């Protein structure tokens, strides 16, 4: 393609809410056949809210929320923000107790000392190890996941004591975006650190095939998933928003960042979807095909 044609494509991209790093990016877009979509913050809004609190006997919901909220206050994860905000709102003065020795394990959860208790919050295996959750936490977790909600397991002083249910909403534009990607002959894949049940439910809601759902992937392994698809001969576009997506965005043949996402994702990507509207991913691919197609 001529440089002039590429510049025209770049200008049209800006009108569509697509920020292109350089005109050469359009060249790599043309061959894409697979679009990997991060779940939280990309297919969904990432704006989580606390829905319910479940505790074992002898523990009050207020105590569980205070300890978990104080701990999550130190984390920037969307789940953490939902828990900390709800916990602060439940305090008479809006102030949560401080946390000591805070530690974040990306993709798994957080831990720290609050009011003399060593508190853990995050994925069940991270907090609880192996073995079944005690009732009524098990029932709460299963019912949450059936509905596509995320269950955060909370424990302190060596025992699991609560499950907090947080909900994230699928972006209203995501199902149409998936339809448009399919119409371009692309295969959509859902990639997430969240558990299988939640991932399956979101995939169903937006029209991604169940055999194209890759769940429970640790942040450092997302790039390896992209590399594996490439090794199968696929040309991969990846759309993400988080710090945990940056390596995968860089690894992909074409990296697209949500404009509503983190600086790390935007820096690693070739394109930014300014309005955080996933339909612009399909527009970007259609635009580059058309720009390059007319010149050849
Ligand atoms: P995604 O890949 O969908 O953007 P992440 O990789 O950020 O999700 O997180 C994966 C999972 O790890 C979350 O669904 C959650 O269960 C758990 N998790 C990570 N950080 C936290 C936290 N601060 N508090 C509670 N749970 C967490
Ligand atoms: Mg994300």
Ligand 1 atom closest to the Cα of residue 46 is 4
Cα dist from 91 to 61, 63, 69, 117, whole Å = 13, 11, 10, 19
Distance 265 CA to ligand 1 centre (A): 17
Q: Which of 38, 221, 241, 283 is catalytic?
A: 38
Ligand 1 atom closest to the Cα of residue 195 is 14
Distance 242 CA to ligand 2 centre (A): 5
Longest dimension (CA), the chain: 72
Distance 107 CA to ligand 1 centre (A): 5
Ligand positioned closest to the Cα atom of 262? 2
Q: Is 209 marked active-site?
A: no
Statement: residue 224 has pLDDT above 80: yes
What is the reported pLDDT for 292?
Answer: 64
Statement: residue 1 has pLDDT above 70: no
Residues forming a β-bridge with 99: 114
pLDDT digits over 23-52, tens only? 777 777 778 999 999 999 999 998 899 999
Average pLDDT over residues 136-151: 92
- Tell me the average pLDDT of the chain: 92
The runs of H, that is alpha helices, within 218-278 are 222-231, 246-251, 263-268
Distance separating alpha carbons of residues 126 and 111, to the nearest angstrom: 10
Q: What is the ipTM of this complex?
A: 0.92
Mutate to test the pocket of ligand 1, among 73, 86, 103, 122 (most ligand atoms within 8 A of CB): 122
* Residue with more model confidence, 243 or 228: 228
Distance separating alpha carbons of residues 187 and 36, to the nearest angstrom: 8
Among 15-24, 63-72, 144-153, the range of highest mean pLDDT: 63-72
- Identify the residues whose C-beta falls under 6 Å from ligand 1: 38-41, 72, 75, 77, 79-80, 107-110, 121-123, 150, 152, 192-194, 219, 242, 244
Average pLDDT over residues 112-127: 97
pLDDT digits over 181-192, tens only? 999 999 999 999
Name the closest-CA residue to atom 14, ligand 1. 194
Distance 8 CA to ligand 2 centre (A): 32
């Amino acid at each position: 393609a001529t440089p002039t044609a590429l510049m025209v494509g770049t200008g049209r991209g800006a009108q569509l809410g697509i920020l292109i790093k350089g005109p050469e990016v359009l060249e790599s877009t043309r061959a894409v056949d697979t679009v990997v979509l991060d779940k939280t913050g990309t297919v969904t809004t990432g704006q989580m809210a606390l829905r319910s609190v479940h505790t074992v006997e002898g523990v009050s919901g207020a105590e569980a929320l205070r300890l978990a909220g104080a701990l999550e206050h130190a984390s920037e994860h969307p789940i953490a923000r939902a828990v900390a905000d709800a916990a602060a709102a439940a305090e008479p003065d809006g102030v949560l107790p401080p946390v000591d020795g805070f530690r974040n394990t990306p993709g798994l959860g957080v831990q720290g000392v609050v009011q003399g208790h060593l508190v853990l919050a995050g994925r069940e295996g991270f907090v609880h190890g192996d073995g079944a959750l005690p009732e009524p936490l098990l029932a709460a977790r299963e019912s949450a996941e059936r509905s596509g909600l995320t269950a955060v397991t909370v424990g302190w002083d060596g025992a699991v004591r609560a499950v907090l249910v947080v909900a994230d909403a699928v972006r209203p534009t995501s199902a149409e975006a998936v339809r448009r990607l399919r119409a371009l002959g692309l295969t959509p894949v859902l990639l997430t650190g969240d558990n299988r049940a939640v991932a399956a439910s979101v995939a169903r809601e937006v029209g991604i095939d169940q055999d194209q759902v890759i769940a429970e992937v640790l942040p450092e392994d997302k790039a390896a998933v992209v590399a594996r698809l490439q090794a199968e001969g696929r040309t991969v576009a990846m759309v993400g928003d988080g710090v945990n997506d940056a390596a995968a965005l860089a690894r992909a043949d074409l990296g697209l960042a949500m404009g509503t996402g983190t600086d790390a994702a935007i820096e690693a990507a070739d394109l930014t979807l300014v309005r955080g509207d996933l339909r612009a991913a399909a527009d970007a691919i259609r635009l580059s095909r058309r720009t390059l197609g007319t010149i050849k």
